[in-house]
Amino acid sequence: MKSRYEAAKNVFVDSIDIDDYIELESSASAYKQLAHSIDKPLKMILLFGRPGTGKSILLNRIAQNLKYQKEIHYFDTPATNTKEFFHKLFKVLTKKDLPQNTEVNFSALVNYCKKLRGKREIIILLDEAQMYGPEMMEKIRLISDSRAVKFVVSLHKTENEDLIAKEHFQSRIWEVIELKNASLSDLTQYIHKKLLKKNLFEIANSIHEKDMKLIYTFTKGNYRECNKLLFTIFEICEYYDKNEPSKVNYEQITQKIIEIAGLKLGFIHV
């Protein structure tokens, strides 16, 4: 027999699928800001925030929503090397595949981009840009100077965040959008809306205000950490539901269960 917690657990599998997108005031604001920035005559837009703040799903949503209005391309996975990246970019620019074992002539590619100026505006969404090396980023900068290709550069906010933002693009990034961890109110809405979206009303109602505060304390409002914690909480509930149902409080997720999940994930230590 299926546990009622199995579906709840699967709701919190980490995903950037726009079907899993949850509309919050903060995420709606970030979306509007990015969409507005893309409409401006900018060479580059910097989108940054700590891992788990929603950068990838924002880029994916922008790409899906604007694909019939703009020439927009989402590079979700960083290329493993320069050759792979420029093969991919060549296909976007020329709408043709480059023959195998052929190198892209970078100078010719830049000149090709310059000829596109005023004819096409190509938007490239670069996710996980912190994984590109300085040489690659410098070439991306030079391509953006053509003004035919606009880049939205997404990277993790770390101690080295200024490496790209200042050393490579200081004079070219005219818009910076920062995504932050959720507030307690936003995280509460996020959790409830994800469960209600799957019609899991009873389970949503079983997470009370004090439980939300503990979840927030553990995750600090980070969506990815929240997904991990809720998945683990419902995994534990599922185990007890199947094996020791007398220990499950179906009207409330107990703080003990939340603490066990927090201990398992390293949010708290014995």
Q: Is residue 210 a part of any domain in this protein?
A: yes
Same domain, 46 and 151: yes
Across all residues in the chain, what is the average pLDDT?
89
Same domain, 123 and 226: no
Q: Is residue 20 a part of any domain in this protein?
A: no
Instruction: Determine the pLDDT at residue 134.
Output: 80
Using 50, 70 and 90 to split pLDDT, how confident is the model at 148? Answer: very high
Q: Is the pLDDT of residue 265 over 60?
A: yes
Instruction: Determine the pLDDT at residue 197.
Output: 93
Instruction: Determine the pLDDT at residue 132.
Output: 84
Q: Give the residue-averaged pLDDT of 192-203.
A: 95
Three-class HEC string of the chain: CCCHHHHHHHHCCCCCCHHHCCCCHHHHHHHHHHHHHHHCCCCEEEEEECCCCCHHHHHHHHHHHHCCCCEEEEECCCCCCHHHHHHHHHHHHHCCCCCCCCCCCHHHHHHHHHHHCCCCCEEEEECCHHHCCHHHHHHHHHHHCCCCEEEEEEEECCCCCHHHHHHHCCCCEEEEEEECCCCHHHHHHHHHHHHHHCCCHHHHHCCCHHHHHHHHHHHCCCHHHHHHHHHHHHHHHHHHHHHCHHHCCCCCCCHHHHHHHHHHHCCCCC
Same domain, 153 and 189: no
Using 50, 70 and 90 to split pLDDT, how confident is the model at 167? Answer: low
Instruction: Determine the pLDDT at residue 3.
Output: 84
Same domain, 158 and 224: no
Our count of domains for the chain comes to: 2
Q: Is residue 59 a part of any domain in this protein?
A: yes
Q: Which of 159, 179, 199 is the last residue of a domain?
A: 179
Domain that holds residue 238: 4-15+183-265
Q: Which of 127, 160, 179 is the last residue of a domain?
A: 179
Q: Is residue 270 a part of any domain in this protein?
A: no
CATH number where 169 lies: 3.40.50.300
Instruction: Determine the pLDDT at residue 248.
Output: 83
Using 50, 70 and 90 to split pLDDT, how confident is the model at 19? Answer: confident
Q: Is the pLDDT of residue 270 over 70?
A: no
Q: Is residue 192 a part of any domain in this protein?
A: yes
Same domain, 30 and 8: no
Using 50, 70 and 90 to split pLDDT, how confident is the model at 159? Answer: low
Instruction: Determine the pLDDT at residue 83.
Output: 85
Instruction: Determine the pLDDT at residue 231.
Output: 97
Task: Give the pLDDT confidence of 123-142 residue by residue, as tens digits.
Answer: 999 998 888 888 888 899 89
Using 50, 70 and 90 to split pLDDT, how confident is the model at 15? Answer: confident
Same domain, 173 and 68: yes
Q: Is the pLDDT of residue 217 over 90?
A: yes
Q: How many percent of the chain have pLDDT more than 90?
A: 60
Same domain, 219 and 174: no
The more confidently predicted of residues 164 and 67 is 67
Q: Is residue 86 a part of any domain in this protein?
A: yes
Same domain, 161 and 221: no
pTM as predicted: 0.87
Same domain, 9 and 31: no
Same domain, 192 and 132: no
Q: Which of 179, 199, 221 is the last residue of a domain?
A: 179
Task: Give the pLDDT confidence of 76-102 residue by residue, as tens digits.
Answer: 888 878 888 998 999 999 988 887 778
Same domain, 79 and 94: yes
Q: Is residue 213 a part of any domain in this protein?
A: yes
Using 50, 70 and 90 to split pLDDT, how confident is the model at 29? Answer: very high
Using 50, 70 and 90 to split pLDDT, how confident is the model at 65? Answer: very high
Same domain, 50 and 168: yes
Q: Is residue 83 a part of any domain in this protein?
A: yes
